Amino acid sequence: MRSAPTATSFPLVPKIVPLAEAVAGLVRDGDTVALEGFTHLIPFAAGHEIIRQRRRDLTLVRMTPDLIYDQLIGAGCAAKLVFSWGGNPGVGSLHRMRDALANAWPAPLAIEEHSHAGMANRYVAGASGLPFAVLRGYAGTDLPQHTPTISVVTCPFTGEELAAVRALNPDVGIVHAQRADRRGNVQLWGIVGVQKEVVLASRRALVTVEEIVDELTPVPGAVVLPHWVVDTIAVVPGGAAPSYAQGYYDRDNAAYRVWDAISRDRGAFRRWLAEVAA
């Protein structure tokens, strides 16, 4: 296992293993885990495997805790949520997250709340091996009063006061990508979000991919994660559904709408959970 960012023990070649083995090997109870993917390439299959393996007391980190974190929270995997926008995009609220916050069901949920700019910069700092990031942000808002990882720093050159946010270095970073080659180099394209940053910021990294290919032919705008920064790869075709994988399949918009009804009702959610856990 590698540790960000100065370790010398990077794996020479990531292990390509089944998803269950990948999650069992990398995700432990009590870990800080970041599943990223900004609307696109959301690692749903990996999240569902965490639910099946009944991981507990996780600190879940994600800029946009949408359906996948609503599911993990409802399944009782989370003790804390670190985030910047929690909703069902284009549809409405996250009812499992709300139930956990308001009623501690199925478990109490602590929160640490940022803006998108703050979260993105926390990953950048983590990936860069720095203890914090600097940005123009949060000034005049009520967020710093409630979030201890937001502070103020004075520029040593101009004297200007700027926001400082603490670096994020999750124990495990999990992303989904279109493909990897046999050496374990990973390639993703389209909306690439903060996937590069979360993989580089995390102590261990799991990537699920649509397929393994002999050669990664260049794609405009693609991000390549070299094999030595990825610990484990699992081949999971459709692993981002009901989000989408550009070039492979479209977003299942109906599933996002259906989730609203499932998540509103504990009974409906329990039935959903029983199917996923089976």
Angle at 209 between CA 204 and CA 210, to 5 degrees: 170
Interface with other proteins, residue 156, by CB under 8 A: no
Interface with other proteins, residue 194, by CB under 8 A: yes
Is the Cβ of residue 70 or residue 171 nearer to other proteins in the bound state? 70
Is the Cβ of residue 171 or residue 197 nearer to other proteins in the bound state? 197
Is the Cβ of residue 160 or residue 214 nearer to other proteins in the bound state? 160
Is the Cβ of residue 257 or residue 271 nearer to other proteins in the bound state? 257
Q: How far is the CB of 99 from other proteins (least distance, A)?
A: 10
Overall residue count recorded for the chain in this entry? 278
Tokens 């940022």: give the residue: 114
Token pair, residue 102, equals 């308001």
How many amino acids of this chain bind other proteins (CB under 8 A)? 54
Interface with other proteins, residue 149, by CB under 8 A: no
Residue in 135, 213, 219, 235 binding other proteins, rule: CB under 8 A: 135
Interface with other proteins, residue 79, by CB under 8 A: no
Asked if 96 contacts 125 with a C-beta cutoff of 8 angstroms, the reply is no
Interface with other proteins, residue 261, by CB under 8 A: no
Under 8 Å CB-to-CB from 253, ≥6 apart: which residues? Answer: 90
Asked if 188 contacts 41 with a C-beta cutoff of 8 angstroms, the reply is yes
In the window 47-76, what residues touch other proteins (CB under 8 A)?
63-64
Asked if 234 contacts 27 with a C-beta cutoff of 8 angstroms, the reply is no
Sign of torsion over alpha carbons 96, 97, 103, 105: positive
Cα 31 from Cα 183, distance rounded (Å): 28
Interface with other proteins, residue 210, by CB under 8 A: no
For residue 99, give the amino acid letter: D
Instruction: Tell me which stretch binds other proteins (CB under 8 A): 52-60, 83-91, 258-266, 269-277.
Output: 83-91
Q: Give the distance, in angstroms, between the CA of residue 4 and the centroid of all CA atoms in the same chain.
A: 17
Question: Which residues contribute to the site for other proteins (CB under 8 A)?
Answer: 38-40, 63-64, 83-87, 89-90, 93, 97-98, 101-102, 113-117, 120-121, 123-124, 135-143, 146, 160-161, 190-194, 196-197, 221, 223, 244, 246, 250-251, 253-254, 256
